[in-house]
Chains A and B, each alone.
Chain A
Amino acid sequence: MAKGRTLTAEEFAALPTTPPKRGNGPWRTESGAVIWQQKETWGHAVRKHWRLYSLCVLPLIYLLIFQYLPLVGTIIAFRRYQPGMGFPWNVVGVSWRGMRYINQFINTPQFWNAFENTVIIAAESLIFTFPLPIILALLLNELRSRRTKRVVQTISYIPHFLSMVIIAGLILQLTLSTGLINEVLMKIHLISQPLSFMQDPKYFRSIYVISQIWQTTGWGTILYLAALTNVDEQLYEASAIDGAGRWRQTLHVTLPGIRPTIVVVLVLNIGSFLGVGFEKIWLIYNPALYSTGDVLSTYLMRNGLFAQPQQASYATAIGLFQSLIGLALIIGANTVSRRLTEASLW
């Protein structure tokens, strides 16, 4: 359609009423004006906003080197890599190994033991650490006293600000045979002999999950509390007029109000499913607990990076496997939640 020409009535009626999504073209507004949408060209945008783009340069260089270069570096999952070999992602050379490192872990029983542990520990953690912050946030929301609310919040955030090393130290200290947990259990006569928590594989997962609850529940409320302050006050008034009590309001106003947040948090949790407990388990476990406590990330560190001799390629192959499953999980969870709840991460 040529610009600057008078349109016939049919041509006018055929014009879209919204700006074209891609490229350039005409559209008409409700008041009857015809607008030619001209998308900004890159050259024009850069000339006009070069200062804004210049602000992105250093962050982009950082992301390129420290996030995207390692991504290319995962190529060593298919090549033999040894420290000092230099630039690991050059594609020429004879050290290609194809699927060798992938086959190596697929055929190792300890790998599958670690995989099973990862799934069990991650599922058990999720069952508790996902709903508990929601419940705590709702309870905090019902508190009338501002001061009490503030104090409970301050205390429950403490674990989030402690180093994982300190948390690991706490766990090891509390689970000693003379530690606080055994002392208390003996005092209330639940047990007569101290339990050796850290020597017996059957306790490990419970210890992990309980410590995870202790650590994450308080801080986990922050997103929900944020969402709760944005629930429309008028909805409460309207439902009160309709005769709804506090409980019905929680079910029909509060929970739907924070549902998008709940969904987003769940999707993110599912995405990091396989990365479970990495630093913490690495710090607290010992060989006696491998049968229940060894997870993928600890397995790959022990048998890859810190093996003698170092097996960087083997560890990278496992890491790649882990990342790919993580990506698939988050895309899957996001798609499902967009279909079912219309809330999604992107």
Chain B
Amino acid sequence: MSTFDEQGNFQVKTLDEVKDRSFIPKTTGYRVFTVINVIILVGFSVIIILPLLNVLSLAFSDTNAITAGKVGIWPVGFNLFTFHEVATTKLFWREYANTVIYTVLYTLISMFLTTTFAYAISRKGLKGKSGLTWVALFTMFFAPGIVPSYVLVNDVLGWHNTMWAMVVPGTISVFNLLIMKTSFENFPVELEEAAAVDGMTTYGILVRIVLPLSKAILATMVLFYAVGQWNDWWKAFLYMDDPYKYPVIMYLRNLIAGASQQGVGGDPDATAQLAANVKSVAMVLIALPVMCVYPFIQKYFVSGVMLGAVKA
């Protein structure tokens, strides 16, 4: 299931491997199917992309064209006015910087907690291993609900409007933990044994042998955690009310909430459409970094490991 690649990195199988089944005779029916299959898959991709193109073109379109509902998947009356408007809003960039800070800290804490725990519970023959695994697993099946967590963070810990409320809750994802555990379980045991014979301690083996050779899984985990935090509005919504501390996603959320409140009774469309321009620009700017990064990490998205991962 796992191999070493040319650079000597411990690798898991990537998902874009294509099974070679050329030994099967190709019937006419199969040729027809192949054509239909490609049509279906291309159609599916188009459906995914259309709404995104719509937002992209709204961001660059003329407000009058938007109000008249003329903008489809291509900008009408191309201009950068709204971009300039948003780009010169101080609050927007302030919150954007907050998002960057929260994402970096959250990802660091998450990676530390997940890696250490996953490594410990991946060791064969460690006493209490399955108990430790269940401590984490149970939280996936029985979550206490929003209110007790809200009370804990806001009232008991007193983290209302602080950075801690953004970067500490939710730092261990059980799903990610299990993926990492499986990946460490598949790590070639001879390497660790050799290191132990050389007198390395558990810490040394983890930091100097296992982690440097597990770049693929680490990259995947960093991506999952970082994207999760970058996109998260819910923690800020629950634990904050100071706009200067909001992550930037709350900027967009407040734009959207404004529109949906006007949606109650009366004709909301005119105002909503004008706001669409600003909203689209904000959406594009917020989604841009994630959209630029994930295709490059896609090749690492785990495969075989995930299968075993779901099983305790």
Cβ-defined partner of B307 (8 Å) among A142, A230, A237, A323: A230
A interface: dominant SS: helix
A 45-59 binary contact with B (CB < 8 Å = 1; else 0): 100010111011011
B221: Cβ under 8 A from any A Cβ: no
User: Can you list 28 pairs linking A and B with CB atoms under 8 Å apart?
Assistant: A51-B202, A56-B120, A59-B136, A66-B170, A76-B148, A141-B19, A143-B18, A143-B37, A152-B45, A153-B15, A158-B48, A161-B227, A161-B231, A162-B231, A164-B231, A165-B253, A169-B55, A173-B276, A178-B66, A180-B72, A214-B51, A222-B301, A226-B15, A261-B307, A288-B264, A301-B146, A305-B147, A312-B150
Assess whether B16 is interfacial by the CB under 8 Å rule.
yes
Give the B interface residue count (CB, 8 A): 120
Q: Which stretch from A4-12, A24-32, A83-91, A108-116 is at the chain B interface?
A: A83-91
A53: nearest chain-B partner, CB-CB: B120
> CB-CB < 8 A to A45: which residues of B?
126-128
| 17 more CB-based (< 8 A) A-B contacts, given A139-B41, A165-B249, A172-B260 | A49-B127, A52-B202, A58-B113, A60-B135, A63-B135, A66-B171, A73-B149, A86-B155, A136-B41, A144-B34, A169-B255, A170-B51, A230-B1, A260-B307, A265-B310, A268-B310, A305-B147
Question: Are A149 and B152 CB-contacts (below 8 A) given A55-B117, A286-B261?
Answer: no
Q: Which residues of A contact B18 (CB under 8 A)?
A: 143-144, 146, 149
The segment from A13-21, A120-128, A314-322 found at the interface with B is: A314-322
A303 to B214, CA, bound (A): 47
Indicate if A131 sits at the interface (CB-CB under 8 A): no
Complex interface residues of chain B between 259 and 284 (CB less than 8 A to chain A): 259-261, 263-265, 269, 272-273, 276, 279-280, 283
Tell me if B's interface is mostly helix, strand, loop or mixed: helix
One of B259, B273, B304 near A229 (C-beta < 8 A): B304
Q: Give the docked Cα–Cα distance between A143 and B38 (Å).
A: 8
Cβ contact of B69, chosen from A69, A88, A183, A240, cutoff 8 A: A183
Q: Which of A311-341 contact B (CB under 8 A)?
A: 312, 315-316, 319-320, 322-323, 326-327, 330-331
Complex interface bits, B170-181 against A, C-beta within 8 A gives 1, otherwise 0: 111000000000
| A-chain residues with CB within 8 Å of residue B303 when the two chains form the complex | 225-226, 229-230
**A residues in contact with B260, CB < 8 Å:** 172, 198, 283-286
Q: Are A214 and B269 in contact (CB under 8 A)?
A: no
**Least CB separation from A60: chain B residue:** B135
Q: Known contacts A172-B260, A225-B15; is A316 also within 8 Å of B148 by CB?
A: yes
User: A-facing mask of B104-128, CB < 8 A → 1, else 0?
Assistant: 0000000011101101110100111
Cβ of A201 within 8 Å of any chain B Cβ, yes or no, is no
- Asked if B306 is at the interface (CB within 8 A of a chain A CB), the reply is yes
Question: Given contacts A136-B44, A179-B69, is CB(A59)–CB(B116) below 8 Å?
Answer: yes
Q: CB-CB contacts of B5-41 with A at 8 A, as 1s and 0s?
A: 0000000010111110101100101100110011011
Q: How far is the CB of B19 from chain A (nearest CB, A)?
A: 7
Asked if A157 is an interface residue, CB under 8 A from chain B, the answer is: yes
Q: In the complex the two chains form, is A164's CB within 8 Å of B58's CB?
A: no
Closest CB in chain A relative to B105 CB, distance in Å:
14
Q: A146 is contacted by which of B16, B44, B238, B249 (Cβ under 8 Å)?
A: B16
- Choose one: B119, B145, B156; the contact of A323 (CB below 8 Å): B145
Return chain B residues, CB-CB under 8 Å to A178. Answer: 66-69, 269, 273
Asked, given contacts A76-B148, A142-B37, whether A166 binds B263 with beta carbons under 8 Å apart, the answer is no
Is B256 a contact partner of A326 (Cβ separation < 8 A)? no
Q: Which residue of B lies closest to A240 (CB)?
A: B24
User: What distance in Å separates the Cβ of B53 from its nearest Cβ neighbour in chain A?
Assistant: 9
Known: A52-B120, A142-B34, A240-B24. A173 touches B45 (CB 8 A): no
Which 5 pairs show the lowest CB-CB distances between chains A and B?
A319-B145, A178-B69, A163-B231, A73-B148, A70-B148
B264 and A226 contact, CB distance less than 8 A: no
Which one, B75-83, B84-92, B285-293, is touching chain A?
B285-293
Interface size on A, residues (CB 8 A): 121
Interface membership of A195, Cβ < 8 A? no
**Which residues from A are CB-within-8-Å of B49?**
155, 158
Q: How far does the alpha carbon of A62 sit from the alpha carbon of B109 in the complex, in Å? A: 11
Tell me the bound Cα distance from A199 to B126 in angstroms. 58
B141 at interface, CB cutoff 8 A: yes
Q: How far is the CB of B56 from chain A (nearest CB, A)?
A: 11
- Does A176 belong to the interface (CB within 8 Å)? yes
Please tell me if A279 contacts chain B, counting CB pairs below 8 Å. Answer: yes
- A180 / chain B contacts, CB cutoff of 8 Å: 50-51, 54, 72
Known: A74-B144, A312-B151. A165 touches B256 (CB 8 A): yes
Cβ-closest chain A residue relative to B276: A173
Contact A165 B145 (CB under 8 A): no
Is A212 in contact with chain B by the CB < 8 A criterion?
no
B306 CB contacts on chain A under 8 angstroms: 222-223, 226
Q: Kindly list chain A residues whose C-beta atoms are within 8 Å of the C-beta of B152.
A: 65-66, 69-70, 73
Scan residues 191-239 of chain A and give those whose CB is less than 8 A from a CB of chain B: 198-199, 214, 217-218, 222-223, 225-230, 233, 236-237
On chain A, the residues within 8 Å of B17 by CB distance are 229
Contacts of B148 in A (CB 8 A): 69-71, 73-74, 76, 88, 316, 319
CB–CB B310/A71 < 8 A: no
Residue of A nearest to B153 (CB): A66
Render B227-248 as a binary contact track against A, CB cut-off 8 A, 1 for contact: 1001111100010000000000
Evaluate contact between A287 and B120: CB separation under 8 angstroms.
Answer: no
A97 within 8 A of B: no
Contact B120 A223 (CB under 8 A): no
- Asked whether any CB of chain B lies closer than 8 Å to the CB of A177, the reply is yes
> A132–B289 Cα gap in the complex (Å)?
29
B305 to chain A: which residues have CB within 8 Å?
226
Residues of A within 8 A of B45 (CB): 151-152, 155-156
